[in-house]
A and B are shown apart, each in its own frame.
Chain A
Amino acid sequence: MITHGHSDHARGGSKHYYSTPATADIMRYRIDQDLDISEYGYADGFEKNGVLFEFFSAGHVLGSAQVRVSYGGESWINTGDYKVENDGVSGDFTPTTCDHFITECTFGLPIFRWKPQAEVFSEINAWWAANAAVGELSIIYSYSLGKAQRVLHGLDTSIGPIYAHYTVEQINAIYKRHGAKLPQTESLTDLTAKTADPTGIIVAPPGLQDGRLVKALKVKHDAMASGWMAIRGIRRRRSYDKGFVLSDHADWPGLIQAIAGSGASSIYPVHGYTEIYTRFLQDQGYNAKDFHLELERTT
């Protein structure tokens, strides 16, 4: 049962999968074209041995879902990753009730509070426009599934051309197939320092930082779009010129809002600052338990 297509949540090796249609497409592209997947849309419940399974939109990336499992009058939700703000390409977060709520808490600290997306994008576009005005190429690093499409959706195409890395373009195609509106991008593959339009911006995954390609293109301005950029120390440590605070995970108020909306009597935080967040919920009178999942933290 797959919540969304990021590689720490969707792995190969299973005989059979259940997911939303968009997640199924992403898995087929990223893992194996021949995966055996049963696809169900949001709110298309299906039963297995008398147990009801339902997907509800999670707003994290295209196709992301919270999974609700109900049996004998008791229901559980596993949120997977989620955010409560609609980013324009990943769908709404659908608040859904249950008895037991397993929630991510990647940014489960009160120092994480996101600004409305529109404000962040006006910062990003202003930065890009300033670089373009002096004829210097920009690059913005963002994960190729989800963040990149969100960034593309928010870029002001009147500033200059957008160059997208190959892995980003592949995911773009899946997004477009599922109805997302993304701007025209040009391929980065054969771009050189000479042919690149200096008013342009490159959208590429963070793995390319310090890569040969970027050096060859003589990019002067680099930026990272991530929730971690909210902390000055982290931003400086990763030595990006610019860090834009843009996350596909819920911030502190978002997490609390989701828990209240679930109406659940028991909360199980996973991924992230679970120890701290669990203790906070207990302080607030919730029946909360730290699951201690030995999973790597995602960004």
Chain B
Amino acid sequence: MKRFAQLYKEVDSTTRVLPKVKALVDYFREAPDSEAIWVIALFTHRRPKRLISTIYLREWAIEISGLPTWLFEDSYHICGDLAETISLVLPPPTKYVSHPLSYYFQQMVNLRGEDTEVIRAWILDTWDSLPHQERFLFCKFITGGFRVGVSDKLLVRALGQAHHIEESDMAYKLMGDWTPRDTQLQDLLADDQSANIARPYPFYLAYALEKDADDLGDPSEWSAEYKWDGIRSQFIKRAGEWFLWSRGEDLINGSFPEFSGLLDLPDGTVIDGELIAHDPLHADPIPHPGEFNALQKRLGRKKPGKKTLDDNPVTIIAYDLLEWDGVDLREQAFAQRRELLKALVNNQDNSLLRLSPIINFNDWNEVRELREGARKHGAEGLMIKRYDSPYRVGRKKGDWWKYKVDPYTIDAVMTYAQSGHGRRSNLFTDFTFGLWENGELITFAKAYSGLTDVQFREVSKYVRANTLEKYGPVRKVKAELVMELAFEGVHLSSRHKSGVAVRFPRIKRWRKDKTAAEADQLSTLKTLIER
């Protein structure tokens, strides 16, 4: 734990990448395998499940610190991090007993399901045994969430350097459904790639095309497809079993059991595609995704019932083939992979799998027009891919581009404000917005991001001076400020007073030039609904 605390300190005390990688490499070269495996797990979101609800942790911290509950909560609100708050308010430890990192995680696993009293005794004793920095880390382990400025990518790079393994190979080795408890580091790093039949390939991610499409050169070298608004997924069929992975490296078989219907696919098949809510009303050749909300409903259920399955059908729109007949195709050209994929999808008759159509075009002007019309097809723009491109690892520029439609925008009036959390607890950062209908402002969206710190301060000043009513942390303000909101889509919603819901709203700019009366009507927003 002490060595890990040192690593944490080094990583946390710099904002630059190179020193972080160096600290991690040093750590991986020094630490025993049994410790390193837990650090890898920690930074790749594979730590054990939470041992106990944070409600208990708060209760115990309050009890031991002797603070009134409200004071603990106020301190937490200002500090912004529960683990940090707990470790700061506890009295200094009376002893120092530092175990290996693996001990703390093993205990978290072993004590799961034990009596609360047993768990309490262990946690309290640990709190009393560790100095501040190590105690903070321990609290981070048991409260969940461990964001300390080390991304998966950074970890992969450092681990690769420490073990002289190429970065993309390292990423591949770390993917999949392994747990630190029953995995040896040497097995994870071993050359045998077939050891884990569930293991997906790292996704190739595209950048947004910022420059002009003409700059991509000869249009005949490029393909265009719609960019579907679903969940990027990899479907794997190997050794008689199937696995569905989301881009976040989550195995999502449980939420989407219907894909067992694709077990007929030959072994050694890996398909890259978009998992979308399937709208049966729209027929091929252009699949039309249903509402993203339906997909969210499905994603939230780990074991969906029959009704959920029937009411929210899904499908995979396939756009790439990464493995065929057990052979890794990623070095082949996209055009070749695509031919194999086409044959594969056309060869089966199953609504669970469709082919993402390639859209023909002759010049870039045509591409721009296609993009503008993308929303009609339920897509958020186009994907432009070079025909001769390999399937790369991670986010790389050059071969694949996202070509998204500009977001919708509307001018709305701020009606409520709420203060932020942690570092922003002294500012109002969460706002509610309304649009006009019959001379009344109807709430339709909340937005948090998009203003600069200076603007947040200015708005906060306005909120303090123009509060009409207070409801706890929420304030009703004089409806005067107009903001231009950007959003990705709009659909009918019975849950919202306005009757519509917008997707991913954010503040585009502050329209200081407009008065509240000049903001948009709700009816204008409703004309944007595409059905």
Task: List chain A positions with a Cβ less than 8 A from chain B.
Answer: 109-113, 230-234, 236-237, 239, 241-242, 273, 276, 279-280, 283
Contacts and interface: CB of A to CB of B under 8 A. Distances in A.
21 contacts: A109-B75, A109-B78, A110-B67, A110-B71, A111-B78, A111-B79, A111-B88, A111-B89, A112-B88, A113-B88, A231-B423, A232-B81, A233-B79, A233-B80, A233-B422, A236-B15, A237-B423, A241-B14, A276-B71, A280-B68, A283-B68
Contacts of B15: 236, 239, 241
A237 B80 CA distance: 13
Nearest to A123: B9
B423 A110 contact: no
Contacts of B88: 110-113, 230
Contact of A232 (B12, B70, B75, B89): B12
B486 to A, nearest CB: 25
Contact of A241 (B13, B67, B75, B85): B13
B423 A233 contact: yes
B74 interface: yes
Nearest to A234: B423
Interface string B436-453: 000000000000000000
The size class of the interface chain B forms with chain A is 20 to 34
B84 A232 contact: yes
Nearest to B91: A113
A110 B14 contact: no
Interface in B150-177: none
Contacts of B360: none
B308 interface: no
Most buried by B among A113, A233, A236, A241: A233
Interface in B73-97: 74-75, 78-81, 84-85, 88-89
B493 interface: no
B65 interface: yes
Contacts of B80: 231, 233
Interface in B396-435: 422-423
Nearest to A280: B71
A278 to B, nearest CB: 12
Contacts of A276: 71, 74
Contact of A111 (B14, B68, B75): B75
Contacts of A234: 423
Given A110-B75, A113-B88, A242-B13, 20 more contacts: A109-B78, A110-B72, A110-B88, A111-B75, A111-B88, A111-B89, A230-B88, A231-B79, A231-B80, A231-B84, A231-B423, A232-B12, A233-B81, A234-B423, A237-B423, A276-B74, A279-B70, A280-B68, A280-B71, A283-B71
Nearest to A243: B13
Contacts of B85: 111
Contacts of B65: 110
Nearest to A113: B88
Contacts of B67: 110
Contacts of A273: 78
B29 to A, nearest CB: 19
A239 B453 CA distance: 15
Nearest to A276: B74
Contacts of B422: 233
Contacts of A283: 68, 71
A59 to B, nearest CB: 22
Interface in B489-524: none
